[in-house]
Chain A
Amino acid sequence: MVVHSGTFALSADLTVDMGRKVAVIGPSGAGKTTLIEAIAGFLPLSQGRILWQGRDISRDAPGARPVAMLFQDGNLFPHLSVAQNVGLGLRPDLKLDAAQQVVVGQAIDRVGLAGMGARKPAELSGGQQSRAALARVLVQNRPLLLLDEPFAALGPALKTEMLDLVAGLVAETGATLLMVSHDPNDARRIADQVILVTDGQAHPPQATGELLDNPPPALRAYLG
């Protein structure tokens, strides 16, 4: 597939196995976010197609794809409570029945925010906001989770904590994870495989350890 974003073009020809945890790394401006946004349905493809279990999803609306996504920022609506923000993952119009409300409550408990469902995002710390967004991902229960560096603004310890939480969640749901990252340590921590994106080209996934231990020239230049 080929995606154009303004004058920038990204091409990718790759397959990711179900249930894998894949880090997308590469220099800034290489097209990591473009790749993720094309998969999520925010950027139209100019060539090619995206297949999910053999089905072409290239023309599906973002919300109709098998995808849950967290963005770099703005993952919560500030005027809605934590429970409402999580509930959106089940019903976009928030008309939740009793059973769904129970699911929401369980997800909030699972990410460690028990008792905070009524709070607004502004009353939470940065780490707690990330947890709330992850609770929504949990109730969305989509088979593909895309993370576009949602924890970039957190400190190193907190970021590690969130990555571990993500790893735990995808282990429970069996979802496939695609995670943009600047930091090779993130990749080592939770990713089985790495997609290297350089100069508008996304390379097929390779095993994390192998790739990072024997980086090709482009990756070596980036890692320094």
Chain B
Amino acid sequence: MAKRAKPINPVSPWPGIGAALFVVALILGALAAVFLRAEPGRGFGPADWSAVRFTIVQACLSAGLSVALAIPVARALARRRFLGRRALITLLGAPFILPVIVAVLGLLTVFGRSGWLSLLLGQFGLPPVQIYGLHGVVLAHVFFNLPLATRLILQGWQEIPAEQFRLAAQLGAGPRAMWQLLERPMLARIAPGALAVVFAICLTSFAVALTLGGGPGATTIELAIYQAFRFDFDLGRAALLSLVQIVLTGGAALIALKVSQGEGFGGGLDRPIQRWDAAGLGLRAQDSAVIALATVFLILPLLAIVLSGVPGVLALPGVVFQAALLSVLVALTSTALLLALAVPMAATAALGRSAGVEIAGLLGLAASPLVIGTGLFVIIYPLADPFAWALPVTALVNAVMALPFALRILLPRARQVVGRYSRLGLSLNMQGRAFLWRVLIPRMRPQIGFAAGLAAALSMGDLGVIALFADPDLATLPLQIYRLMGAYQMQAASGAALLLLGLSMGLFWVLDRGGRWHAEA
């Protein structure tokens, strides 16, 4: 048996393996630190139990409502073509990179005590609506996850082959028969995955609970960790709560990975399906109403941010601009870190050693930002002043959190490029750096730009670890907005939110566009 001297790879797998090991070490190290610091002997107080209960209840409600509402929206989008359909589907992707604090301010402007809805109700002599508490948290989660669930389910609809609709129409199937024959089986396959994904996302909700929840009845575990930290500086209790959170999110992430199929931000969603069974006037009116309602629900809070932010933006205090500058720096650092991790990992996975690298990338989903933040705090605390490390830690944790998404964007393209060009590269003796810089990275530029845009926007809008680590003189823009809200400077907060919205979307746009600029197919 003659054997090859060494495997034929156009690029070395080692940088990717190194990056994966770094991520694993970081996350497991943080978890281990949490585990060692936790003090189970002290037991779980009633407040802690109530946080666990609230976390699960709100996540169940948010997931159930998001998916239940997403089904009619996805169905309407799947079987109608209309002007602005593409724009609406693009808009459905926007909440993913929308800073939570911005959305919360928008929702407050629309649904708050003195918001637009309350004003309208007041016209009819009705009392204003109350947004703080469980229903506010659920409302915000539905705002964020209804679009995601709609995209996931719409993907299911698109995956039903057009021939099947044609065949069913030829057999004379009406809407009801179509539902039983094609749509219900598809939903039975897709909906559990969508439920699990939204549930897992809502479990780690921090910024929403911080702003709209709070109090004994509406505290998530993430928020309880934060409070144990900031108010009591009780590291043992924070660690114990983190432990519970790890079990919950890890379990939910496992279930979500098992039952979910698509990732919801893939392409091809703007292709309408030819349908013959839904031409009736009633169904058309129903679909139009559903689409209109969903659009209004998504657009109103964004519109509110713009309208209420404009006066504030002109009179922003200087601290806001300082915070904005810091945020941009953190976001760019985080993006650079993400790319330094994700590109080598995608390259290594594309060489065929995907399992280990992909698991390392997904580990970020199993641990919440605050848990990792707690772990890093525990590790840094004896060695240095953790507050001095606030910004680097924030950038790093943001990068690790964006990693699963980045890998999902980069990996398929990396596989394609390696599959198509590795032989040509090898036959020209282009190995290692020459292949990496001359072929792999240029060919992956659009995907790298998209991943970088997502990472920058996510980091720009992140209000998580920074809240844990920041001292009073230091704030990123989202934290500064939260502080302005806490000080009831709502006009300045709205102005800063508009600035944050512009910066996040701007960073995303520039990076995504930059990647696709003059990129050959």
Contacts and interface: CB of A to CB of B under 8 A. Distances in A.
B426 interface: yes
B426 A62 contact: yes
Contacts of A136: 428
A75 interface: yes
A55 interface: no
A35 B442 CA distance: 32
A112 B265 CA distance: 45
Given A77-B439, A88-B428, A61 B1 contact: no
Of the listed residues B420, B427, B428, B520, the one surrounded by the most CB atoms of chain A closer than 10 A to its CB is B427
A75 B424 contact: yes
A78 B426 contact: no
A122 interface: yes
A63 B423 contact: no
Interface stretch (B107-115, B209-217, B430-438): B430-438
Contacts of A197: none
Interface string A165-201: 0000000000000000000000000000000000000
Contacts of B423: 40, 42, 62, 71
Nearest to A64: B429
A107 B519 CA distance: 27
Given A44-B3, A63-B431, A122 B8 contact: no
Nearest to B428: A88
A140 to B, nearest CB: 8
| Interface size of A as a range | 20 to 34
| Interface size of B as a range | 20 to 34
A89 B428 contact: yes
Contacts of B519: 79
Nearest to B431: A63
B421 interface: yes
B4 interface: yes
Of the listed residues A46, A47, A48, A93, the one surrounded by the most CB atoms of chain B closer than 10 A to its CB is A93
Contact of A122 (B439, B443, B520): B520
B2 A61 contact: no
A75 to B, nearest CB: 6
B426 A61 contact: yes
Contacts of A71: 423-424
A118 B426 CA distance: 24
A122 B521 contact: yes
Interface in B116-168: none
B3 A80 contact: no
Interface string B221-245: 0000000000000000000000000
Given A77-B439, A92-B434, A69 B3 contact: no
A79 B427 contact: no
A44 B6 CA distance: 10
Given A78-B520, A94-B438, A122-B521, A63 B2 contact: no
B466 to A, nearest CB: 38
A46 B1 contact: yes
Contact of A62 (B1, B3, B427): B427
A79 B430 contact: no
12 contacts: A41-B8, A42-B423, A46-B2, A47-B2, A63-B426, A63-B431, A77-B439, A88-B430, A89-B428, A92-B425, A92-B430, A120-B520
Given A61-B431, A71-B424, A93-B438, 19 more contacts: A40-B423, A41-B426, A45-B2, A61-B8, A61-B426, A62-B8, A62-B427, A63-B429, A64-B429, A74-B424, A77-B438, A78-B520, A80-B442, A89-B428, A92-B430, A93-B430, A122-B520, A122-B521, A136-B428
Give the top 5 A-B pairs by smallest Cβ distance, nearest first: A63-B429, A92-B430, A62-B426, A92-B434, A44-B4
Interface of A: 40-42, 44-49, 58-59, 61-64, 67-69, 71, 74-75, 77-80, 88-89, 92-94, 120, 122, 136, 140
